[in-house]
Amino acid sequence: MAEFERDLIRERTMTGLVAAKLKGRTGGKPKDLNEDARKQARFSINITYSFHEPTSP
């Protein structure tokens, strides 16, 4: 009985993956940041780690 259920799950999963692929969707984590996200990350890092010269009294 468990093997039959497992086969059903596998079949449904594969059907769903094929349907998603036909729609142009892929699973998993994106491989890299796009250019806008890179700029935002650099900007955030520069704000967080910026050091200013102390002012003299």
- Dist. CA 41–CA 32, nearest whole Å: 13
Structure tokens at 41: 């990350």
Q: Does residue 42 belong to any structural domain of this protein? A: no
Per-residue pLDDT, 52: 61
Residue 18's closest CA among 29, 30, 27? 27
* pLDDT digits 0-9 by tens, 47-57: 666 566 566 65
Q: Does residue 17 belong to any structural domain of this protein? A: yes
Between 51 and 6, the more confident residue is 6
Domain that holds residue 16: 1-25
Structure tokens at 17: 């993956």
pTM greater than the 0.75 cutoff: no
Q: Does residue 50 belong to any structural domain of this protein? A: no
The count of structural domains within the chain is: 1
Q: Does residue 39 belong to any structural domain of this protein? A: no
